Amino acid sequence: MTKSEKIKKFNPNDIGNKNAGMYGLPFTQDECEIQIIPIPWEVTVSYGSGTAQGPHAILEASYQVDLHDPFVPEAWKMGIFLDDFEESINFKSYSLRKKAEELIKFLAEGDSVEPNPDFKEIIDEINTECRTMNTWVKQRSLHFLNQNKTVGLIGGDHSTPLGMMQALAEKFGDFGILQIDAHADLRDAYENFEFSHASIMFNALKIKELTKLVQVGIRDYCEEELNLINNSNGRVVTFFDRDIKQQQYNGDSWNTICDKIISNLPDKIYLSFDIDGLDPKLCPHTGTPVAGGFEVEQVLFLLEKIVKSEKKIIAFDLNEVAPGPNGDDWDANVAARLLYRIANLVAHSNGKKA
**75-79, 115-119, 180-184, 295-299: range with lowest mean pLDDT:** 115-119
Given a cut of 60, whether residue 111 has pLDDT beyond it is no
pLDDT at position 83: 98
Radius of gyration for the chain, computed over Cα atoms and rounded to the nearest angstrom: 20
Mean pLDDT of 15-23: 93
- How far apart CA 18 and CA 34 sit, in angstroms, is 19
Cβ atoms within 10 Å, residue 128: 12
Q: How confident is the model at residue 43 (pLDDT cuts 50, 70, 90)?
A: confident
- CATH homologous superfamily of 3-349 equals Ureohydrolase domain (3.40.800.10)
Residue 7 has pLDDT above 60, yes or no: yes
Report DSSP state, residue 183. Answer: B
**What DSSP designation does 52 have?**
G
CB 196 within 8 A of CB 160: no
Q: 95 phi and psi, to 5 degrees?
A: -70, -40
Amino acid letter, residue 46: S
Contact 315, 270 (CB under 8 A): yes
CB atoms closer than 10 angstroms to residue 70? 9
Question: Would you say residue 118 has pLDDT above 90?
Answer: no
Q: How far is Cα 157 from Cα 322, in angstroms, rounded to an integer?
A: 9
Neighbours of 308 (CB within 10 A): 11
Domain ranges of the chain: 3-349
Give the containing element (helix H, strand E) for 212.
Answer: strand 210-218
Percentage of the chain exceeding pLDDT 70: 95
DSSP 225: H
